[in-house]
Structure 1
Amino acid sequence: MFGLLNVNKPPGLTSRDVVNRVQWLLRQSGGKTKVGHAGTLDPIASGVLVLCLGPATRLIERVQQMEKRYVGTFRLGCTSPSDDIEIEPTPLDNPPIPTLDQIEAALPAFTGRIEQVPPCYSAVKIAGKKSYERVRRGETVELAARPVHIYGVEIVRYEYPELQLAIRCGSGTYIRSLGRDLAAALGTSAVMSDLVRTAIGPFSIADAMRGSSIEIETVHQHLHSPLDALPLLPRRPLTDEDEKLLRNGMPIDGPLDSPESAGVNQHGALVALLAPKQGKLWPSRVFVAG
């Protein structure tokens, strides 16, 4: 199998649980297809989880770099070491109650390129160990701020203490941290109580298959072309001879007007990523075994 699956992960399952389910089904049907996911969702979160199957696992980074959309719900006036409800939140004593106008006025500071400290209960690695593993062993963890890009934040609903936001962001953004930092700017604290990833690039929750009922038949029915991971790349049609050369690591003739393109054979299948060099198109990554 060579393609992508857009899965609506239900709450309560880890991203790895979904990957394991698909791998198990493929093995039961006699296959040994490699499966990976393009962006972890926490167990309490739900929504779009893109799985990459077979050679498409080499496109995971491409999917990870796509814009992501979330709807996050936050409970103001309380705090938690995990910045969400995974650990029982602790209420603050007499916290301020921000107005809608105050929240709207604070949002512009959290758009564009910002510096963000990940939650200590996260998979960020410190000297080869995940941060949450160190914290659970009783270690004190201090994570450095890192740049992330927030394309937009809008208020969906506000009924204190609950605030719901629609967020468009780039790779590496922690929505828990965004809620925590927004609350701090308002003089209070917050924990994330719910999170739904509604889209990754062209993969939307409206088109996703239900993660709670994955079967081998639905895997086949919902398999996307790997080209969906490359929506902005120009397509280069390949002849049989082109395909043979590329599969053997050799260059082909073709237009050199793009820094990268996708070589597609006569059946519409992705064969290779192509880059111009020395007047030829060279394969930078080949997806069909030679």
Structure 2
Amino acid sequence: MLGFFLINKPKGITSHDVVGYLRRITGEKTIGHAGTLDPLAEGLMIVAIGREFTKRISEFSKLDKEYMAEATLGAISTTYDAEGDITPSNLPLVRGGEVGLPTPQEEDVMEVLQGFVGKQGQMPPIYSAKKIKGQKAYNLARQGKAVELVPVPINIYEIKLLNYRYPLLKFSVKVSSGTYIRSLVHDLGQKLGVGAYMSGLIRTTVGDYKLEQAIDLYQIKSVVDLHLVI
């Protein structure tokens, strides 16, 4: 059972948990993946099993990705998602130079979303695995230490509003590798003037590989014809 596999990660576990589970059922210790999904997120992961294949995992790690995301407006989170401490937003509603406007209308949301399309620098979440002098940012944040991050160059190729009924907003997005959808949602809330946090995320595509091709994590033991990438 060696090779590259398309795995459908369920919500509620870490990417490390996925690797640990595969190690237990395969007996293979050398396992890696081509991109982390947070516990809140679900969807497509490309996993390499066996040393010969983990050496080549970088072939997939820089591929573009597509997601379906859910944002909850009107509140903010310390982690930019539902895993953090959530508080109602106290941002003043400021749009178009006016204060105290009503909740964002669909046209407001669509306009702000389209404003994110293109190359830009994105600030990673404080609670992220970005390294600062050898330490992960989330470890520093949990210790109450200052976290000094710098914007990361990303590209948002396409973004589409799928559904909006305040406070819930759903959209699809195609992005370059390294893009934090949590940060995108946080920035969306800031621009709309109401605050927002990511309440759901599904990775649907990595490069040319689709979630529909993937196998559910816990079905691997009973499936003979596993979905090999190459």
Q: Same fold (TM over 0.5)?
A: yes
Match of 1:85 among 82, 90, 107: 82
- Could you tell me how far 1:95 is from its partner in structure 2? 5.9
Are 2:31 and 1:35 equivalent residues in the alignment?
yes
Partner of 2:58: 61
Question: In structure 2, how many angstroms separate the alpha carbons of the residues matched to 1:223 and 1:185?
Answer: 41
Flag the 1:94–1:123 CA change in 2: closer, same or farther, 3 A.
Answer: closer
Unaligned runs of 5+ in 1: 227-290
Unaligned runs of 5+ in 2: 94-102
**Secondary structure in 2 aligned to 1:164?**
strand
- Please tell me the root mean square deviation across aligned C-alpha atoms, in Å: 1.6
Match of 1:121 in 2: 127
Report the CA distance between 1:213 and its aligned residue.
3.2
**Distance change >3 Å, CA 129–CA 205, structure 1 → 2:** same
Residue number in structure 1 paired with 2:201? 195
8 Å contact kept, 2:120–2:153: yes
| 2-structure distance, mates of 1:109, 1:207 | 32
**Cα distance in 1 between the residues matched to 2:64 and 2:34:** 12
Compute the displacement of 1:59 (Å).
Answer: 2.1
Partners of 1:153 and 1:165 within 8 A in 2: yes
Which of 1 and 2 has higher RCO (CA within 8 Å, sep 6+)?
2
SS at match of 1:142: coil
Question: Which of 146, 153, 156 is 2:159 aligned to?
Answer: 153
Task: Find out whether 1:52 has 2:48 as its counterpart.
Answer: yes
- The match for 1:7 is 7
- 1:26-46 per-residue CA deviation (whole Å, 9 max, x = no partner) reads 21xxxx452101000000110
Q: 1:9 is aligned with what amino acid?
A: K
Q: Does 1:24 align with 2:30?
A: no
Name the residue aligned to 1:222.
226
Task: Choose the corresponding residue for 1:163, options 163, 169, 178.
Answer: 169
Matched-pair identity in %: 37
1:71 is paired with a residue of what secondary structure? strand
- Contact 2:14 2:37 survives alignment (8 Å): yes
**1:82-121, CA deviations, whole angstroms, 9 ceiling, x for partnerless residues?**
0011013101248641111111112232111111000001
**TM-score if structure 1 supplies the norm length?**
0.72
Once the two structures are superposed, residues 222-267 of structure 1 have per-residue CA deviations (whole angstroms, 9 ceiling, x without a partner) of: 14153xxxxxxxxxxxxxxxxxxxxxxxxxxxxxxxxxxxxxxxxx
2:187 pairs with 1:174: no
Kept after mapping to 1: 8 A contact 2:215/2:227: no
Aligned residues: 220
Does structure 1 retain, via aligned residues, the 8 Å contact 2:8–2:43?
yes
| Structure 1 stretches of at least 4 aligned residues deviating more than 3 Å after TM superposition | 93-96
Any conservation in 1 of the 2:91–2:195 contact (CA below 8 Å)? no
